[in-house]
Chain A
């Protein structure tokens, strides 16, 4: 590999569509979420840059490692989660443009998505607080809840795109949509689309599915003892996760809107991400109150999984 090739790869990893892009868009989406929520409640709301301020402020605060905590795990957990998210960002193409072509495997993405959650759980657990103990328990149950519909949605997409051949590659899914139209416009995929819209808030952990971090009942759950820079990274993780999930959604259901210009593609992508953020997170947040954990589990394994399964069956019979 020559030097320009290496630099190009490095550019892809660090700037676009890797680290910097994911972080900036993630923070933008998080800010947009807060702003839109405020507007829906007839408030002025924080500025769009608010998540950035929060992040910088937390960087400047002290980091207190509680006596009961295991220091190494406690400090390493957020960084591990962040790394996994950035690797994930490399796997998710901006329509046709991706860092590693042909490698965006759905199952790998599914598993990489669990790493940030596991990092949060292990980090919270290592802090030694009983509130965190309850929090991680709820986080884990939340994870089990949304995993079933998410899996079914992914398998549905794989079947729809692949037909009678195995197709788990996100790149293939996008190029299939470029030829046959977005999956969102196939009637059989509509239930899966709705299921995915409901999976996103639980994966990101916004109200009403933020049972794990319920700040009014269990004092932010796993994050209770975190302060300063590690907390900043955790908050950043949530923001990046917003981008990852919405971008995944965009690729799964609105893939293939390729204009040929990468910059324009990126803008369209971000627009779709913002729309998805609005419908799946802000809207639901504004009109609902937090669920109880057992209701959350039931909701995901019946309603959402039911929607996804309906789609799978429709696709399976050839619609």
Chain B
């Protein structure tokens, strides 16, 4: 069987898995688990087998469903087109699905109606995979719809808990508005171009914008922005990520909002090919900068582990949008790398939150504390994730953020535009604030003193630890060996995003792009290197020396290291002479000075995040109006 069928089969496997779970999995947990693992495993293998032809050999797979080839240069059937960009996101999607499925096996074992969980989970997976592989805008819309509704269902899955139905309702309303915008945009496009194929649309629209297509652009951009939860469309995300089961929160932040990001990249780089217009860059960079700033400051104010992570998801997507919006190959590299890293470390962090929730029954940071002694594995994984997201070297977050800063400042100095300087500063400061809020979680949940209530907490089972360890390892590896990631994943994806004519030609037949006068987007070259191998040698030597020093001085001359029981006064915590009391500096006690100075800002933000869905819908519509006005003012 030729590998051109693999993308379609992978998507179908997931949908078939969902169907079979309904039919067979109602009564048996083993069957359900088997089906979920089998479907996601097969999808993973199929996509992994495409790595060689697509990413390494640089082939673009085009596939016409039912062999409905274009007639007279018009695409009439549904086409799947797997280029390197789609492949990059497909890899993220299938890895997330597989890891989440493994984690779910034990994680949801105490929940009722599990068969619905797996059905929705597999449909969600299938739809996101379909979204990133398809070459047809209407097919993309259908996938977005399936994605939205299954996501709503999964958000409300634990409906015994507080707020999950409310969250699902908000998600439903905002998500539907976003989908409607997308559909409206697609309808206009179809009316104008008489085709729904992305490649053909790209060929027709390139440099050839009428007011109608500009309107379509604005609407589709807004619709996809809603799906990627950038500010001000982020409001349902915070609730949904918090109340959904952690395995699903991981899927949401790992691939559902990546689907939105993918959509935006596809839209601005390929379908409309508008990325070299400065106005579009400004639009995206402003959206991105606002998103990362508001996301992170809101995260600093949160007291709930998962809600905090949710706001960080929003903030990190801001980085991606900013970087992608710079329209330099450096920026695109950084943006895609950060998208990938976000999938890894945020997924990891959500899984840690899930582990904490399962072990202690709460994610409220004010009620946790001292878990590092009871859950060492989770703590290590969490620290790796936290350091990655805060961008400490040598973890992967550093490598990608570093590219983003460099790209932003490069843009600033080459264009002389002060906006980009401002964006660079915001990006750098946001990174410190990210660190701050993860320090808060570290202190509040994992270190400090163990509350009496949590004395009998146990580490989570191995099957739940496994995905966490895999993701931790990937976080470290992709940071250390970023050269390989760059070479095999990012460079092909970036050149695919910039190489519009190749995308068109492989779908519509060679020469089609040239006929329609489509040129590739010009972007400045990639130049970066942040460490060389010598630094690693140096690091190694220093660590070795430190270790030697410790061993040499341990006998005799150095003081002994003593450990003991808390009952013995010597090992008790110092309380100014008092007997040690259970006293823990929890989440809401931290960063007092910062919060005081920012009181005004936080009050405004609190007012804006009112929790009323009417307000949120209003934000979406208002932002859409702004985008439309902006498009008509600056893009003509």
Residue B573 interfacial (CB < 8 Å)? yes
Q: Judging by beta carbons under 8 Å apart, are A107 and B413 in contact? A: no
A83 CB contact (under 8 Å) in B373, B546, B565: B546
- Chain A residue numbers with a CB within 8 Å of B558 are 59-60, 228-229
Q: Judging by beta carbons under 8 Å apart, are B433 and A144 in contact? A: yes
- For window 523-537 of B, CB contacts with A under 8 Å fall at 529-532, 534-535, 537
Q: A108-B530, A114-B392 are in contact. Are A65 and B561 (CB under 8 A)?
A: yes
Q: Judging by beta carbons under 8 Å apart, are B448 and A143 in contact? A: no
Q: Judging by beta carbons under 8 Å apart, are B414 and A164 in contact? A: yes
Residue A253 interfacial (CB < 8 Å)? no
Interface size on A, as a range, is 35 or more
- For window 555-587 of B, CB contacts with A under 8 Å fall at 557-566, 568, 570-576, 580, 583-585
Per-position contact with A for B363-391: 1 when CB-CB < 8 Å, else 0? 00000001011000001000100010011
CA distance A13 to B537 in the complex (A): 10
Q: How would you classify the secondary structure of chain A's contact residues: helix, strand, loop or mixed?
A: helix
Q: Judging by beta carbons under 8 Å apart, are A136 and B439 in contact? A: yes
Residue B148 interfacial (CB < 8 Å)? no
Q: Judging by beta carbons under 8 Å apart, are A229 and B559 in contact? A: yes
Residue A111 interfacial (CB < 8 Å)? yes
Residue A242 interfacial (CB < 8 Å)? no
Residue B146 interfacial (CB < 8 Å)? no
Residue A151 interfacial (CB < 8 Å)? yes
Q: Judging by beta carbons under 8 Å apart, are B447 and A312 in contact? A: no
Residue B589 interfacial (CB < 8 Å)? yes
CA distance A79 to B551 in the complex (A): 13
Q: A103-B532, A103-B535 are in contact. Are A137 and B585 (CB under 8 A)?
A: yes
Q: Judging by beta carbons under 8 Å apart, are A62 and B559 in contact? A: yes
Q: Judging by beta carbons under 8 Å apart, are A65 and B562 in contact? A: yes
Q: A71-B563, A134-B585 are in contact. Are A108 and B538 (CB under 8 A)?
A: no
- Chain A residue numbers with a CB within 8 Å of B409 are 155, 158, 166, 168
Per-position contact with B for A200-226: 1 when CB-CB < 8 Å, else 0? 000000000000000000010000110
Nearest-neighbour CB distance to chain B for A135, whole angstroms, equals 9
Q: A108-B531, A144-B433 are in contact. Are A13 and B593 (CB under 8 A)?
A: no
Q: From A317, which residue of chain B is reached at the shortest CB distance?
A: B418
Residue B2 interfacial (CB < 8 Å)? no
Nearest-neighbour CB distance to chain B for A130, whole angstroms, equals 5
Q: Judging by beta carbons under 8 Å apart, are A141 and B442 in contact? A: no
Q: Judging by beta carbons under 8 Å apart, are B435 and A114 in contact? A: yes
Interface size on B, as a range, is 35 or more
Residue A47 interfacial (CB < 8 Å)? no
CA distance A196 to B597 in the complex (A): 23
Residue B463 interfacial (CB < 8 Å)? no
CA distance A144 to B418 in the complex (A): 23
CA distance A19 to B549 in the complex (A): 13
Q: List 27 A-B contacts (CB under 8 A).
A: A10-B541, A13-B538, A18-B542, A65-B561, A67-B571, A68-B448, A71-B563, A79-B546, A83-B546, A87-B535, A99-B538, A100-B535, A103-B530, A103-B532, A107-B402, A110-B428, A115-B392, A118-B390, A127-B447, A128-B370, A129-B573, A138-B593, A140-B436, A159-B413, A219-B576, A225-B574, A296-B593
Kindly list the 3 A-B residue pairs having the minimum CB-CB distance in the complex, ordered from nearest. A133-B585, A293-B593, A67-B566
Residue ranges of A at the interface with B (Cβ–Cβ < 8 Å): 9-10, 13-14, 18-19, 59-68, 70-71, 73, 75, 79, 82-83, 86-87, 90, 99-100, 103, 105, 107-108, 110-112, 114-115, 118, 121-122, 125-131, 133-134, 136-138, 140-141, 143-144, 147-148, 151-152, 155, 158-159, 162-166, 168, 219, 224-225, 228-229, 292-294, 296-298, 301, 312, 316
Residue ranges of B at the interface with A (Cβ–Cβ < 8 Å): 370, 372-373, 379, 383, 387, 390-393, 398, 402, 405-406, 409-410, 413-414, 416, 418, 421, 424-425, 428-429, 432-433, 435-436, 439, 442-443, 447-450, 529-532, 534-535, 537-539, 541-543, 545-546, 550, 553, 557-566, 568, 570-576, 580, 583-585, 589-594, 596-597
